Amino acid sequence: MKTLVTGAAGFIGSHLCEDLVRRGDNVVGLDCFLGNYDRQLKEGHLTRLDGETRFELIEAGILDADLRTLLEGVDRVFHLAALPGVRSSWGETFADYLTHNVMSTQVLLEACKSARTQRFTYASSSSVYGETSGLPMREDSATSPYSPYGVTKLAAENLVRLYHRNFGLPTVCVRYFTVYGPRQRPDMAIQRFLQAALDGTPVRVFGDGNQSRDFTYVGDIVDGTYSAAVTGQLGGVYNIGGGSCVTLNELIALIEAVSGVHLRVEREEAKPGDVRSTKADCGLAKAALDFIPKTSLENGIAKHWESLASGEFGF
């Protein structure tokens, strides 16, 4: 298979590229190296693919790339490229979210329609559900985003399904729930907490710490994404969650146990757009994709800690 992965130098995208190469795919990675965090970190994500003959990196944004040429001979597309972040999506930066999350998706869908792409897999987010007391979240639950970021992810997801219904583009969407593991973005909670344990610095917790998340190890995310691309129902949407739903306070205690370091917690007010709780119902993914998360939160954090402490960009 020849496969295109957008967002290839990102946290999840780099892991997915490695997995696809291991499976025997010829992978074209597309990334524009957005400045949302250090470019050197993103370049480091691809270290394990250095010299790999079945991987090619193209540095370009979707809106600037020659997609017609890029998609020649490509069998399937994994669209992971996006501008992430709930808290940074307010105000003037919303225009950037529209560009990178909505407009880029529409342009890529148009190109894939013309290229007759065999499968288009879109990485969506649990942020599409928004603030809800209806837990666990199911694929048929109401979608009411609580942040501008969530609005753009839902808009792009709707575009993906529209292209399936109107033009027969073979699409599938996966909704990720709080992904963590080696190479996690530096602004995300587990990465910040582990880095603080390594550096001996305080950690900031927004709110009372009793907000909960369904944490999902990156290896399980990659497995679920691949399964959706191969066996998912066309036009379908699947939750991909780790089944490890804990509060931030419980998470901190677990990180202290894994690292052996007591964290000094500095509490601040909750931020706009942060939902109280997420929890995935993965029954549909289990039935249709045979998806069962393999990595417990404790084991996943131990792997994450080991990778960070060693300075390796592991899996």
d(CA 275, CA 211): 8
> 149, 163, 226, 238: which is the annotated catalytic residue?
149
What would you report as the CA-atom Rg of the chain, rounded to the nearest whole angstrom? 19
The dihedrals phi and psi of 71, each to the nearest 5 degrees, come to -90, 0
- Do residues 125 and 145 touch, judged by C-beta distance below 8 A? no
d(CA 94, CA 101): 10
CA nearest neighbour of 49 among 72, 80, 25:
25
CA nearest neighbour of 126 among 220, 219, 208, 238:
238
- Residue 238 annotated as catalytic: no
- Do residues 185 and 37 touch, judged by C-beta distance below 8 A? yes
CB neighbours of 172 closer than 8 A, spacing ≥ 6?
119, 120, 121, 122, 228, 229, 232, 233, 234, 235, 236, 237, 238
- Do residues 156 and 102 touch, judged by C-beta distance below 8 A? yes
State the catalytic residues.
149
